[in-house]
Amino acid sequence: MVGPYRGLFNGPGIKGFVLAGFVGRMPMSMLGIGIVLLISGLTESYATAGAVAATTNVSFAVAGPMTARLVDRFGQARVIVPFAIVNALSLAALMLSAGFGLPEWTLYAAGLSVGATSLSLGGMVRARWSHLHGGSAKLHTAFAFESVADEMIFVAGPALVTVLATAVNPYMGLLVALVCMLGGSLALAAQRRTQPPTRPGESGAGMAILIPGIALLSCVYLALGAVFGSVDLITVAFAEEHGVKGAAGFLLAAIAGGSMVSGLWFGSRHWRLPLRHRFVRALGVLVVGLLPIMFIGDARIMAFGLFLAGLAISPTLITGFSLTERLVPPSVLTEGLAWISTSIGFGVAIGAWAGGRLTEAFGASNAYGFTLAAAAVAAVVGVGGSGLLRLPEAPSPAGN
């Protein structure tokens, strides 16, 4: 299984941008649960906490593709630096607003700014891989590695922020997220020799979302984002209901751990099955995997159930990003990848909001029904529109 990953990081600057991108996007798994833990602890309301987290994600969803379009036009370094600095200031404002008990609207205003200035570093790192290995067998493996890296972040991030927020200080989790974002982002911006070139002559290219396949993938990932967002919030509430709130991060790490394991296996194989077929099958497996968690009432068993549910996540993400890379022209690659990330972010906002409301109204176990329904919607849309994901005949190690 390790074989295909050997030699992947050989080359000038590769290790540097991989490490910087990893550190810089740590907040993507820390920010949501960090906000929920901080706000729910201060207001004793999961609805308010979910709404503030949702505001941040909606803001990112709206601004993300526009930011990515700037990256495609002006280059990563020129965009990352100012956005990272403003993002750090915005997150600091959110923590200060909570700490000083300022009016509730200040939490939403700060969350809005945090989301609007957040950077899709995962898309930028994948764009660098595509620039280096586009059309080669290494690109499939590189995308698989990045999905595994994402899952490593989702394993470590929630557990880290939960421990910091509950055992050290309510603000410490978000503070560490701020430091990781700023340090990793600026380090990535400093590595210019591996960043994709800008294409001024192609700056008039149409928006990536107008490509039918990208529009379909965005809809699927909107629903998947609702799965992720609702699982995060509902699982925190589940842990509290069962008297183990401090274990919430470890429960979330279980689903990410399942995804990490499947991602390593998936990326190590050379597939003959077409990409779109792999994509829709992974969606179906996710629906089946999420079904049992509605009926689990023990935290230890829930950890195992979430691990099994996570096994379908990385294959879905890997194939989705691979399809995007094949469907969009190079001049809007970062934007195309950002539409996937921003759709997930928008879905996370919906899931966090709905999960908070349903948890308060019906309890955590019943609220998982929304998670299952969102996964089912993703599968139905993906299967129904899979014809739009048919790729032109071209040599590719990842199939078509």
Separation of alpha carbons 62 and 114, rounded Å: 12
Q: Which residues contact 287 (CB under 8 A, 6 or more apart)?
A: 372, 375, 376, 379
* 214-236 pLDDT tens trace: 999 999 999 998 998 888 788 88
Q: What is the pLDDT of residue 135?
A: 66
- For 24, the token pair is 């810089």
397: pLDDT confidence band, cut at 50, 70 and 90?
A: very low
Instruction: Identify the residue whose tokens are 């993002």.
Output: 87
CA distances from 129 to 78, 175, 309, 320, 325 (A): 19, 30, 29, 16, 11
120: pLDDT confidence band, cut at 50, 70 and 90?
A: confident
CA distances from 135 to 16, 276, 295, 377 (A): 22, 18, 45, 32
pLDDT of 399 > 60? The answer is no
pLDDT above 70 covers what percent of the chain?
93
Q: What is the pLDDT of residue 117?
A: 95
* 168-219 pLDDT tens trace: 888 898 999 999 999 999 999 999 889 888 765 554 556 788 888 999 999 9
DSSP annotation of 302 reads H
Instruction: Identify the residue whose tokens are 């176990």.
Output: 365
Q: What is the pLDDT of residue 174?
A: 92
Separation of alpha carbons 263 and 204, rounded Å: 36
Q: What is the pLDDT of residue 383?
A: 92
Tell which phi-psi region holds residue 135, choosing left (phi > 0), alpha (psi between -120 and 50) or beta.
left
Q: 10 Å Cβ neighbour count for 282? A: 23
* 37-54 pLDDT tens trace: 888 787 777 777 878 887
Residue type, 315: P
131 three-state secondary structure: helix
Q: What is the pLDDT of residue 178?
A: 95
The answer to whether residues 203 and 73 touch, using CB atoms and an 8 Å cutoff, is: yes
Task: Show the DSSP H helices in the chain as ranges.
Answer: 14-24, 27-43, 46-74, 76-99, 104-116, 121-133, 137-163, 172-189, 212-241, 248-267, 275-290, 299-310, 313-327, 333-362, 364-384
Separation of alpha carbons 392 and 387, rounded Å: 12
The answer to whether residues 283 and 378 touch, using CB atoms and an 8 Å cutoff, is: yes
Separation of alpha carbons 39 and 45, rounded Å: 8
* 234-292 pLDDT tens trace: 888 888 888 887 777 788 778 878 888 888 888 777 777 888 888 999 999 999 999 99
pLDDT above 90 covers what percent of the chain?
29
Q: What is the pLDDT of residue 398?
A: 43
The gap from C-alpha 362 to its chain's centroid, in whole angstroms, comes to 27
Give CATH superfamily name and number for 14-197+208-389.
MFS general substrate transporter like domains (1.20.1250.20)
**Structure pTM?**
0.77
Q: What is the pLDDT of residue 396?
A: 43
Q: What is the pLDDT of residue 155?
A: 67
pLDDT of 400 > 50? The answer is no
